[in-house]
Amino acid sequence: MLLTVQTNVTDCPDLNVTDCPDLNVTDCPDLNVTDCPDLNVTDCPDLNVTDCPDLNVTDCPDLNVTDCPDLNVTDCPDLNATDCPDQCY
């Protein structure tokens, strides 16, 4: 289920997921994106990649945050917010 959403970036003002390669989670210690082999975590040493095996970070069109309730994204209009009621609406 794809939704056009407005996301909450109150706690992650620097989060950039326009293209995803520069994803900044400096202020998102609870970001959880398990098994994302293409995710660039060069600057995200504390990134927890455990519960989002279907996360697509190529350009974020179908980003699945089913198991990432704390994920805050600004530039992913098709973000699947089914299980992110508090962050994606």
| Per-residue model confidence as pLDDT tens for the chain (89 residues) | 333 333 333 334 444 444 344 444 444 444 445 434 444 444 444 444 444 444 444 444 444 445 454 555 554 444 444 434 343 33
Residue 57: per-residue pLDDT: 47
Domain parsing of the chain, residue ranges: 1-89
Residue 42: per-residue pLDDT: 44
CA atoms within a 13 Å half-sphere pointing along the CA-CB vector of 66:
12
